[in-house]
Each structure stands twice: as C-alpha cells, then as structure tokens.
Amino acid sequence: MDAPSELGHFLRSRRAALRPEDAGITPHPTRRRVTGLRREELAMLAGVSITHYTRLEQGRATGASDSVLDAIARTLRLTADETAHLKDLARPSAGSASRPAPSRTEHASASARQLLAAMTEVPALVLDRRNDVLAWNALGHALLAGHLPADSPGTPGSRPNLTRMLFLDERYRALYPDWNEEAQLAVASLRLVAGRHPDDRRLAELVGQLTVQCDEFASRWARHPVRTCTSGVKRLHHPLVGAMDLSFENLVIPGTSGQRLIAYTAEPGSPSEAALRLLGSVAATKASTAGNVAATARH
C-alpha cells in the first residue's frame, strides 16, 4: 500500500465521480472524452497550479499545505472522513518506510480481558486496527462466531478477523441480512486505516489476500470508499435465536496502537433483548457442558 500511488488513485476516483455540471462547468458537447473533471479544471476551481496538482496526483509532491488540500477537498466535495484520508495519503507519517515494517504481535491487556469477562449480559470483544479479534467474552463469541473455537483469539497466527470472515466465512456472512451495506462499510473503514498506516505489513497482507480470494472485495476496494463508523445499529439474523437489532459502540482503548472495544446492546423490553438473553442462556449451557466434559476427561 504505497501512499503516493494510493493518493493518485484516490484523487482520480473522486475527480471521475464529479460531473462538470455539478462543479459549475458547462462541458462542450463534442469535445469531452471523460465524464468527470479534468485535472486542469479541478486545479482551476481549487485555485491550485496545474503543475502542482499534477505532481500531487502523480505522487511526486510532498508537504502539501492544509490550505491546498482543503481547497482540493472542497472542490471534490469530500466528506470529513475523505478529507482526513486525503491528508493521510498526501503527508504519510515520517516513520513510514518505503517497505512495510514487521508488525509486532498484539494482545488484549489483562485489564481489558477482565472487563470483557465482567460484561456477562453484553456481547463484547477487543479488536486491533486490522479487525483481528484479540479477545471476546462468552456472549460476544456466541453472537458473532459460535462456530469457531472460543479460544481462537489466543492464537496469533490464526485469530479470527472480522473483515476476512465477512467476505470468506459463509456462516459469519449469513449473520447480516444487509450484507452489501456491511461489506461496503467494512471496506471503507479498512481504507481509512490503510491510509493512516501505509507501513503496516500485516494489514497489507490482509488486503492482498482478500483482493486475490474475493472478487467482491476487490471490486469494492478498487472504488476507494472511505468512511468510519463508531456507533450505530446492526441488523443480525442469528442461527440460534433469529433476528436482532443491536446498537453498538466502538471505544478506543487508550495507550494501544488502535485497539478498540466493541459492545452490543439491545433496547430494553424489545424482542431483540429477549433474543439476546436467550442466546446468553444457550451460551452458558454450552460452556457448562464443555466444562463438565473436560472435567470428566481429566478423571
């Protein structure tokens, strides 16, 4: 994920998506070969020299000022997330090397795991910035991945990754009746993270794997969506308890490299709350049974 080439791809995709009419330009009916803005048109509207903009789009300009990037963002009608992404790509961090650096193995802290365990009635999990599951509580495991071993987050080399599962795991994918919307958000969020961490080798490997193995991911990634989502409502259809509408919150864990805790709740008195309670009972029964089997085996 080379930041200069990603910057060029992002700018070209947004330039192509903006019609000249929407920018106040009346195109000549017979002389136009592209549907979006030309480079020179964008530069003129943004008040930037065509030479400077061309170098920026080609990844040959460094240290672009906020005023220049803000002018380009306004002209392209970028969202706040897209504007932040533009600046990440235009000015990669000084620590980013030309080659991705090895990523250290991450773990959820003991206090984070203790907090998850205490949240007995709330599905919750800890993710790293790549969406690898570092830890989950019993209800979080039952809600999202009951078909996987409960201890799978403890093995760094084969941890569940929610983005990979969304595209490659049919049982996880089936949880989401609005799969297309969920997939679009997952790709858009991953794009934002990739722009902030162009030197993350494991993130690059994840994107490469999904691009090769899943055409749906590859086509969405190529459109360069950018969006973050810190809270909202997930529509789920669980194989054991049926439909649920669950609110979720993403809480960044201070002092980590982008780890966050995600917790799901249901509206009090709603059918979703009843379904979540039923799932908790099922999960507790399974855990008790597994514990008894293990104890018997030891004896």
Weakest-pLDDT range from 26-40, 222-236, 259-273: 26-40
Same domain, 78 and 196: no
Same domain, 15 and 139: no
Summarize the chain as % helix, strand, coil (round to 5): 55, 10, 35
Weakest-pLDDT range from 4-8, 102-106, 173-177, 266-270: 102-106
Confidence band of 76 (pLDDT split at 50, 70, 90): very high
Q: What domain count does the chain have? A: 2
> Which CATH number is 184's domain given?
3.30.450.180
pLDDT of amino acid 32: 65
Q: Are 266 and 245 in contact (CB under 8 A)?
A: yes
pLDDT of amino acid 289: 63
Q: Rounded to whole angstroms, how far apart are CA atoms 103 and 61?
A: 28
Same domain, 116 and 82: no
Let me know if residue 101 belongs to a domain: no
Give how far Cα 23 sits from Cα of 45, 73, 74, 79, 156, Å: 8, 13, 11, 16, 49
Let me know if residue 99 belongs to a domain: no
Confidence band of 107 (pLDDT split at 50, 70, 90): very high
Q: Is the pLDDT of residue 133 over 70?
A: yes
Average pLDDT, the chain: 89
Same domain, 59 and 165: no
Confidence band of 35 (pLDDT split at 50, 70, 90): confident
pLDDT of amino acid 103: 60
133-136 and 242-252 as β-strands: parallel, antiparallel, unpaired? Answer: unpaired
Let me know if residue 96 belongs to a domain: no
Same domain, 128 and 79: no
Weakest-pLDDT range from 35-49, 71-85, 158-172: 35-49
Confidence band of 5 (pLDDT split at 50, 70, 90): confident
- The beta strands (E) that lie in 58-145 are given as 124-127, 133-136
Let me know if residue 97 belongs to a domain: no
Model-level pTM? 0.87
**216 closest CA partner among 194, 186, 237:** 186
Let me know if residue 102 belongs to a domain: no
Same domain, 160 and 236: yes
Element (H, E) at 252: strand 242-252
- Enclosing domain of residue 223: 110-298
List pLDDT tens digits, range 203-220.
999 999 999 999 999 999
